[in-house]
Structure 1
């Protein structure tokens, strides 16, 4: 009886901490490859990242944003995607959003549905003037 109670308490704690960021409970662990493409689907920027559970600081955008750790980055066009800026992410309604949230009203986002260990979607800017498409992206776990 005592072990069943202990199990229930443990389960409650796990669910409590995993619900706000379901992705951190295993599905976003490891190293991920992000390829950012121009509108013609040509790869311009490639980054290897880790998704952390550390709360993102200085975000202008509301939500549950956590820090993205950039492990390596290569790009064919400087400033196409902000690999040198602090990046953050959130998973909401089955979609992952990765991007720069520290430049208020100058957000650059990758956003698309997350399917296990991969995602693909759109790259766009978001600001006071609305959204502007910039390209596409793919995301997949590599380790």
Structure 2
């Protein structure tokens, strides 16, 4: 399953993007435990894009038998920065969540040529993020 949607370049676009992604992922049959991680990471990518990027902003979801890939394209050249903020910091953790909870992530040129860059992550269907493994029931 592949789907995409255009997003307004405003923080008010984050909640609708989360809902849209959740609906597409449910339609694709993503299991509930992975669904929550994916929706969290979608929220982080979209928040970064609408807060720090230039239009156009596009959210893409691609689910196959092995993994889910989420990509957000935008018109800015600045790449996301992986930070390790202190516990007292009010922000700066979005890319850290993507780094720790996804199977892999990165940036690339937008393949469709509409935007400047794409920030993406993948979550393998057989992958349990290390930070979540302790919360996953064994059985």
TM-score bin, normalised by smaller chain: under 0.3
TM-score (norm 1): 0.27
User: TM (normalized to structure 2)?
Assistant: 0.28
Larger radius of gyration: 1
Of Structure 1 and Structure 2, which has the larger fraction of its residues in strand?
1
